[in-house]
Amino acid sequence: MKTYSRALTIAGSDPSGGAGMQADIKTFSALGVYGTTAIVAIVDENTKGVYGVHPVPENFVAGQIRSVISDIGTDAVKIGMLHSPQLIRTVLATLREFPDVRDIVLDPVMVATSGDPLLQPDAVTTLRDELMPYCRVITPNLPEASLLLGETIDRQDQLEDAARQLSGLYPEAKVSVMLKAGHLSDNMLTDIFYNAETGRTSRLSSERVDTVNTHGTGCTLSSAIAAYLAKGAGLDDAVRLAKQYIDGAITAGAEYKIGGGHGPVYHFYKLWQ
């Protein structure tokens, strides 16, 4: 019998379909990966903002993770919004029950595209000091990198050092860093990927697209990296291909209008006409 490449997303929901678990599932599907989910929170949001977060009990989150991995298994894991220290520790403890699952991609979601906070302040330290060292790749944007490092990162010439500094927080763990440049105002945006396993840095450039449809870009990029890792790509290739995918999804999505705020990217631009 044939088998699927599989990826599990551990994330909150987005009823508007552009971010969170819904974006992850769309990305997995678009890239030919069987997606499974462990929902950590039900979020009341749309393209204009976040209006409420209803947490799922930690033991129920752990149960979802165990149920999926013990039965279906997974080749990679993408982790998104984890709003509290207790939830972060629960997810980490549960993943440790499955030591063969090591392709873990963490998008350290702290603020929504709309500017609304999604992470409790006391959870930042727990995320940085406990969960991040267990991940293979983290994908912070500039505000998240600034918060994690305790300094302002807002210029292109800072990104390479910042990516190395973030990885350097975990010298034994070899955590690679995809530092996203989307918050810069430059016309040419250059993300920095530091591969902690090889010590090499890659510069991944793309032209800025004039669009408000950027809801869920971080979710989509991180889940694309997880999807390519699930399919067996090497780390550098997974990041490069994921960058190409999100660039294409942003460009194609700029032609559409959904909602009155930040619309979604076009996850299925390669498949739908």
Max CA separation in the chain (angstroms): 52
- The interaxial angle of helices 159-168 and 142-149, nearest 10 deg, is 50
Q: Which of 47, 126, 139, 217 is catalytic?
A: 217
Q: Which of 180, 220, 243, 253 is catalytic?
A: 180
Q: Is 219 a catalytic residue?
A: yes
Q: Which residues does residue 175 pair with via DSSP β-bridges, in sequence order? A: none
Residue 47, both tokens: 């393209």
Residue 169, both tokens: 């927080």
Rounded Cα distance, 244 and 157, in Å: 22
Q: Which of 128, 131, 156 is nearest to 142 (CA)?
A: 156
Q: Is 180 a catalytic residue?
A: yes
Q: Is 218 a catalytic residue?
A: yes
Rounded Cα distance, 127 and 87, in Å: 10
Q: Which of 47, 74, 214, 220 is catalytic?
A: 214
Q: Which of 17, 18, 80, 219 is catalytic?
A: 219
Q: Tokens 């408000």 map to which residue?
A: 212
Q: Is 211 a catalytic residue?
A: no
Q: Which of 80, 216, 253, 263 is catalytic?
A: 216
Bridge-based pairing of strands 50-55 and 200-207 is unpaired
Residue 36, both tokens: 């499974």
Q: What positions carry a catalytic annotation? A: 180, 214, 216-219
